[in-house]
Amino acid sequence: MNRYKIEGGYPLRGKTEVCGAKNAALPILAATIINGRKSIIHNCPDLSDITSIIEILKYLGCKVERRGKDVTVDSSTFISRTIPHFAMKQTRSSTIFAGALLARNGYAFIPGSGGCHIGARPIDLHLKGFKALGADITFQPDGIVCRAKHLRACRIELDFPSVGATENLMIASSLTPATTIITNAAMEPEIVNLAQYLRSVGAHIKGDGTSEIHIKGTLSPKDAEVTVIPDRIVASTYASAVASAGGSVEICGISPGLLSPFLAVMRRMGMSINCTKNGFTICKNSGLVNLPYVCTGPYPLFPTDCQPMLVAAMTTAYGFGAVREKIFENRFGHCSRLNDMGANVTVRGRTALIRGVPKLKGANVDACDLRCGAALTVAALGAGGTTYISNTHYIDRGYENLVSELAKIGAKAERID
């Protein structure tokens, strides 16, 4: 089993480039089956989650070729198949195929899905939207069947601005000839990126990035092309690493506006941040101060995916801090692991209470999910001694060779057997 070995106490210095966003690339790849033609996805990250989605595309008969950061999908050879359980178990993101399968062939089967265990991710909002679009929903012992001879345009009001539901309904609506309106839609940058792809297919979309999205589908889909946006969560992880280990790092290839809620919190804690058009430099010039209250929420609020790395950085900041998690009810698995490293974190319901300690210590810890693994990596960089992190397959789901990239900016980190 692969592990990370990280020797803490070495400040980070230099420059690093942000890869393409996992959370943008996955729904775009799933959507490539709707046009029945060729799609070229630029800046696609090399992650295990991406590999899983590509394998599903191949199972569905698509021809997929990867050259460097470019992935080409030819869905003209698509075969109407039910995605098997073994494929769906590899990643929760496989649920996003439901909207694409409904749009392409009027049938989708949704078995249980895998991925990280960070709490319930109910798909009731997806199903409610599919039903409004004209799909019949049947619950079976092993999954959910969605059928629709013809999807119809409609108005859908989401009870919560779910990213996954918004994406699924945008994709499903992209081949309907009239206009579907999604209200209380998710506003994340990844939603805008998906809309860019669907426009290249031929759909007419307005309002992406706002709470109301209008999608007028196309009956004549075209070859499509899009560039995946930079990963704001990866950029936030590098910034958190500097907050933990110290130093000064230039993080390139991303507009700072994509992670402004996170950078605002870093500034309030005492980090020095200098933004440019295509990146930012983050420095730790003195000790950090904990914040009395940070709360996660839908974009543009503080991202839930950044919460574990923030908690890791807060463990050695001065004073008392609190972080409330409002998206997932079970996203504090990292806290007990951080306590194994000498942190003082107490979880009460959906709130983590952090009392800063002078320094963490190296330990043997295991990642319980993707961002937990990133948080432990962040903590290990500033800890005294050596930390070994197991279950690194979780980290591989969302980061391209994380320890190798950190080593390039001065970390004493490596992957070992």
pLDDT in tens, 53-94: 999 999 999 999 999 999 999 999 999 888 777 666 666 555
Q: How confident is the model at residue 260 (pLDDT cuts 50, 70, 90)?
A: very high
With a cut of 70, say whether residue 153 has pLDDT above it: yes
With a cut of 90, say whether residue 271 has pLDDT above it: yes
Burial of 398 (0-12, 13-18, 19+ CB in 10 A): buried
Q: What percent of the chain lies above the pLDDT cut of 90?
A: 89
Predicted confidence at residue 112, as pLDDT, reads 60
**Cis amide bond preceding 189, omega within 30:** no
Q: How confident is the model at residue 349 (pLDDT cuts 50, 70, 90)?
A: very high
With a cut of 50, say whether residue 310 has pLDDT above it: yes
**Cβ atoms of residues 362 and 383 within 8 Å:** yes
Predicted confidence at residue 120, as pLDDT, reads 45
pLDDT for 274-296, tens place per residue? Answer: 999 999 999 999 999 999 999 99
Q: How confident is the model at residue 238 (pLDDT cuts 50, 70, 90)?
A: very high
pLDDT for 121-139, tens place per residue? Answer: 578 999 999 999 999 999 9
- Cα–Cα distance measured from residue 314 to residue 333, given in angstroms and rounded to the nearest whole number: 16
DSSP-H helix ranges across 206-327 = 232-245, 260-269, 307-314
Which uninterrupted H or E stretch holds 395?
Answer: helix 393-396
Partnered with residue 155 across adjacent β-strands are: 181
Whole-prediction pTM: 0.95
Structural tokens at position 16: 């690093």
More confident residue, 109 or 303: 303
Residue 321: C-alpha distances to residues 104, 186, 309, 354 (Å): 49, 28, 14, 5
Predicted confidence at residue 247, as pLDDT, reads 98
- Please identify which residue in the block is written with the tokens 């420059």: 15
**Cβ atoms of residues 22 and 45 within 8 Å:** yes
- Please identify which residue in the block is written with the tokens 């709470």: 211
Partnered with residue 139 across adjacent β-strands are: 144
Predicted confidence at residue 416, as pLDDT, reads 95
Predicted confidence at residue 387, as pLDDT, reads 98
Beta strands in 75-166 (DSSP E): 107-110, 136-140, 143-147, 155-157
- For the chain, what is the largest distance between any 2 Cα atoms, rounded to a whole number of angstroms? 63
> What mean pLDDT is predicted for residues 223-250?
98
Residue type, 310: L
pLDDT for 361-389, tens place per residue? Answer: 999 999 999 999 999 999 999 999 999 99
Q: How confident is the model at residue 119 (pLDDT cuts 50, 70, 90)?
A: very low
Structural tokens at position 161: 């601005």
The catalytic site residues sit at 116
Predicted confidence at residue 81, as pLDDT, reads 83
- Cα–Cα distance measured from residue 77 to residue 71, given in angstroms and rounded to the nearest whole number: 16
